[in-house]
Amino acid sequence: MFTWDSVRSVWEQIRSGRRVEFSRGMWMLLVGLLLAFVLIIEVVARVNHIRGPLSLLATDLVGRPTIGEIKIAGMLLTLVCLPARLRLPVLASTVALELVWNLQRVAVGDNGTIGNGILFVLLGTAAFAGWRLRGRERASTLKAVGLGLLLIVMGRVGDVGLVLSTRANPAVFDEYVELADRALGSPSWAIGSVVSQTEWLTAVLREVYVFLPVAAAVIAFFQLRHSARDGFPRHHIVRTFLLIGMIGPVVYFLFPVVGPTYAFGNEVIGAGWQNVWPMQLPIIGDPSAPLFDQTVARNCMPSLHTAWAMCIFLHGWRGPLASKIFGTAWLAGTTGATLGFGFHYAIDVLAGVIFTLTLEAALTRPELGWSRHRVSVIAFGVVTFSSMLLATRFLSVEIAASGAVGGFVLIGGVLVMVGAFLTIELHPAVQEIPVDVAPPVPRDPGVLAKRTAAATAAAKTWAAETMDSVNRELKKTDSTKL
């Protein structure tokens, strides 16, 4: 049963650095909030005459699914977290269903795709766990399926958010960003000119860019492969990955940018203002925010592909050597792809790094609790991120004119944030107190409450001393009369 006391208990556990244990009522609350969120996005989408996440998921289930990479990542994540005896049956069922669906597509002359079998198996596994499994095995199975489905559902919510960002922002800030980016040497133009003329590099970077969710599932394998037996670690890549996807798109509505290949190239025929990317820089006088084709998503600032790749890098470095190499290579490849394909400016990439470091500062090393130091690092990240966006919007001409100085300032902000994050990440280990033996955490009454208590105690003391004085005087008076 959910109560506010359970919420207060969870918050006290988070503040103190103890492992958070959710009750059944709390899990039901979280699932209910997620469903409510998806329903709200569905309603907003319908009001704006576009397909919502539920409509897209229904098509993925029984129609022709799209964006199969994130569904593959969801299934891999589920397989990693499932109890060992269920992995092979779930995998075999998925392959069989995908083959059946795609054989009938090929029979009628359509191209194959991936997604129907994955979704049916995930839903079927959840139903099987609720019907036949018991105890810890059922809980582990439901958590595994829930993580996989959550990744897929939030992917569809993100797709709707991209379309909504175009409806909300007919004008874009690309001219401001391109000017400010010149202080960094316009890397999108430099790298783009190399990538566009190198066929094999284009092919490799395209796969790296597209299969990013699968790369996250690979890192999840290193972190969560024993979760069914030993329980989930307190911090893992899925938490950060989903949080980036939930918060990042909000910035798209506040700072709409489409990217150099769209604004200054020919990615969408006839949409670009100048067809010069990546061979030469555009000619920009006084920067402004002109209108742009509303079929193109405003999903550049920050670069969430870079943010997710940074997440893969950070969590990769918490694992074995293979995980470290994989995470580093994927970050390098993703950065090259985002710039080389002209999807982002360099400032977008820097903002994506700061964005991930800020969120990781809030999530990493939970055993340290929510200290003032952690809060100050998060606040610094928020201020640095906001300052970069505001400077790009209102000081782009000055940044471009400053040359290398502006570039050093932009990169310096990222480096300082890296150092601040490492003060948390590399903090000396703290011995964790098990939940079942941990003493209750006393609530801090706060400064105002402490002062009130002190004043009350002083008033009581004064009143007691006054009454003693009055009683002594009365006794003296009575003795004199006698």
Is 468:474 a contact under the CB 8 Å cutoff? no
Query: What is the model's pLDDT at position 438?
Result: 45
Is residue 332 very low, low, confident or very high in pLDDT (cuts 50, 70, 90)? very high
For residue 10, what is the DSSP state? H
Higher pLDDT, 106 or 445: 106
How far is Cα 234 from Cα 364, in angstroms, rounded to an integer? 9
**pLDDT at residue 367 in the model:** 86
pLDDT at residue 433, rounded to an integer: 46
Partners of 291 in the β-ladder: 171
Distance (Å, rounded) from C-alpha 113 to C-alpha 102?
7
Tell me what the mean pLDDT of segment 322-330 comes to. Answer: 95
- Residue-level pLDDT at 376: 95
- Alpha-helix runs per DSSP H in 284-394: 304-316, 321-340, 346-363, 372-394
Q: Is the pLDDT of residue 436 over 50?
A: no
Over residues 86-113, the pLDDT tens digits come to 999 999 999 999 999 999 988 888 888 8
Q: What is the pLDDT of residues 22-70, one digit of tens each?
A: 667 777 888 888 899 999 999 999 999 999 999 999 999 998 988 888 9
Report the alpha-carbon distance of residue 113 to residue 106 in Å, rounded: 10
Q: Six-digit token pair at 424?
A: 């948390």
Which DSSP symbol is given to 296? S
Position 431 pLDDT exceeds 90 = no
User: Tell me, what's the pLDDT at 13?
Assistant: 58
Q: Is 439 helix (H, G, I), strand (E, B) or coil?
A: coil
C-alpha–C-alpha distance, residues 53 and 59, integer Å: 10
Bridge partners, 35 (sequence order):
none
pLDDT over 90 at 432, yes or no: no
User: Higher model confidence: residue 4 or residue 339?
Assistant: 339
What confidence tier does 466 reach under pLDDT thresholds 50, 70, 90?
low
Burial 120-158 (b: 16+ CB within 10 A, else e): bbbeebbebbeeebeeebbbbbbbbbbbbbbbbbbbbbb
Residues 6+ apart with CB under 8 A from 9: none
Average pLDDT rounded to a whole number, residues 157-170: 90
pLDDT for 474 equals 55
The CB-side HSE value for 364 (13 A sphere, CA atoms) comes to 23
pLDDT value for 450: 64
Residues 143 and 230: their CA atoms lie apart, in Å, by 13
The DSSP symbol for 171 reads: B
Q: Which pLDDT does position 124 carry in this prediction?
A: 95
Please give the pLDDT value at position 229.
84
Tokens of 309: 């790749």
pLDDT (mean) for 148-174: 91
Q: What count of other Cβ atoms lies within 10 Å of the Cβ of residue 201?
A: 17
pLDDT tens-digit profile of 197-214? 999 999 999 999 999 999
Phi, psi of 300 (to 5 degrees): -100, -40
For 242-292, how does the pLDDT look when each residue is reduced to its tens digit (9 = 90+)? 999 989 999 999 999 999 999 998 877 766 688 888 889 998 888 999 988
Cis before 53? omega within 30: no
Distance (Å, whole) CA 186 – CA 259:
12
Place of tokens 């199969």: 68
- Structural contact between residues 312 and 360, judged by C-beta atoms closer than 8 angstroms: no
**Residues 239, 358, 172, 335, CA torsion sign:** negative
pTM of the predicted structure, to 2 decimals: 0.83
Displacement of CA 342 from its chain's centroid (Å): 23
Q: From the CA atom positions of the chain, what is the Rg in Å?
A: 28
Residue 478 has pLDDT above 60, yes or no: no
How far apart, in whole angstroms, are the C-alpha atoms of residue 214 and residue 241? 12
Q: CB of 10 within 8 A of CB of 366?
A: no
- Token code pair at residue 105: 């597509």
pLDDT of residue 480: 46
Pick the closest to residue 365 from 292, 318, 427 (CA basis). Answer: 427
Q: What is the mean pLDDT of the chain?
A: 86
Going by C-alpha positions, the residue among 181, 183, 351, 349 that lies closest to residue 278 is: 181
How far apart are the C-alpha atoms of 98 and 341, rounded to whole Å? 32
Structure tokens at 273: 């203002």
pLDDT value of residue 337: 95
Q: How far apart are CA 69 and CA 67, in angstroms?
A: 6
Confidence of residue 482 (pLDDT cuts 50, 70, 90): very low
Query: Cα separation of 142 and 128, whole Å?
Result: 10
Structure tokens at 271: 């949409």
| CA 188 and chain centroid, separation | 25
Domains of the chain, by residue range, sit at 1-45, 48-168, 172-428
The residues near 408 (Cβ < 8 Å, ≥ 6 apart) are none
What is the pLDDT at residue 14?
Answer: 58
What percent of the chain is modeled with pLDDT above 90? 61
80/225 Cα distance (integer angstroms): 5
The phi, psi pair for 444, rounded to 5°, reads -75, 115
pLDDT at residue 336 is higher than 90:
yes
Choose between 11 and 389: higher pLDDT: 389
Least confident among 130-144, 328-342, 374-388: 130-144
Output the CA angle 241-242-243, nearest 5 degrees: 95
